[in-house]
Amino acid sequence: MMVNRRQWMAGGAALATTMAAGPLIAKSVKSKPIGIQLYTVRELFAADPMATLEKVAAIGYREVEYGGGGYDKMDHAALRKTMDRLGLTAPSVHIGYEALESDFDGAVKMAKTLGADTVVLPWMAEAYRNAEGWKAAVANFSRWAERLKKAGLSFAYHNHDFEFTVKPGGTSLFDTLVADTDPALVKIELDLFWTVAAGEDPKAIIRRLPGRIYAYHVKDRTADGNMTSVGKGVIDFADIFTLNRTAGVKHFYVENDQSPAPYLPDIQTSFAALSRLRA
């Protein structure tokens, strides 16, 4: 069920509400660098990855999460060198199911070269969204998480809406994932937009999974259901962030799958809005 949400803008009344929420929000967000999922600027990144990293860093982002833009085929050592020069880190990388299945060792090497400590599985195709296919996939999640741990890496799963809305036999894919995996090994990267889009209450999810939320994907949602820059929609991030300690969240990644060209103004707006929560 959706919870009540109020739009909050720069200088608006909801900002005052955020500030009034006090030390809990400040401590749980202020200490965390603001990151960006590079899928948001995938067109720019694919054309000129090094220049894109420079522009991201110039805005003020200090963490990047690789995903899309053809990053998996690039020179990862060169990307790492550029990040080091710019003061950027990449705590996690998105690696697809098929890539993990076909070249697990290559995925580990790529993640480590980029300096990541966590591999995030970002998407599952339609073919797996049934009882049999999901059961087999979840078993692989557990197996890969064990192998990643031995390699010094962690594993997390990134949700969309279908994990909540597809319910083979009456049980959602998300509930099956949570129940059939070890919470110490399989973490959740909670995409707040998609959680809300599925009709779920992010705070209820967090309370169900204390300590299991690896990161948030922070992207806003308009009243009519479209993606928008953080702070331009109706998701009450300030309210959600009161549970950051319960969640155990380590990273806050701005993401907008539908970021409009030329992209940089959108991520600047999101950075500024998320920064206000850190004041």
Lookup result for tokens 């993606």: 227
pLDDT band at 32 (very low <50, low <70, confident <90, very high): confident
Q: Which two tokens stand for residue 193?
A: 């937009």
Q: Name the range with the highest mean pLDDT among 3-7, 31-35, 119-123.
A: 119-123
**Burial per residue of 119-132, b for 16 or more beta-carbon CB atoms within 10 angstroms, e otherwise:** bbbbebeeebbeee
What is the pLDDT at residue 149?
98
pTM: 0.89
What is the pLDDT at residue 30?
60
User: How many CA atoms lie less than 13 Å away from 114 in the CB half-sphere?
Assistant: 29
Query: How many angstroms separate the Cα of 159 from the Cα of each of 38, 108, 121, 216?
Result: 17, 22, 9, 10
SS3 for 115?
coil
**Mean predicted lDDT score pLDDT of the chain:** 91
The answer on pLDDT for 15 being more than 90 is: no
Q: Which two tokens stand for residue 157?
A: 């799963």
Mean pLDDT, residues 232-256: 97
Give 3-state DSSP helix, strand, coil % of the chain, rounded to 5.
Answer: 50, 15, 35
Per-residue pLDDT reduced to its tens digit, 86-139:
999 999 999 999 999 999 999 999 999 999 999 999 999 999 999 999 999 999
The answer on pLDDT for 178 being more than 70 is: yes
Cβ atoms within 10 Å, residue 263: 18
Mean pLDDT, residues 176-200: 98
The alpha helices in the chain, defined as continuous H runs, are 13-20, 23-30, 42-47, 49-59, 76-86, 97-102, 104-113, 131-150, 162-165, 173-179, 192-197, 202-208, 237-240, 244-247, 264-276
Which positions ≥6 away from 277 have C-beta within 8 Å?
A: 18, 25, 29, 237, 238, 241
What is the pLDDT at residue 19?
35
Q: Which two tokens stand for residue 46?
A: 């694919």
pLDDT band at 7 (very low <50, low <70, confident <90, very high): very low
The answer on pLDDT for 31 being more than 80 is: no
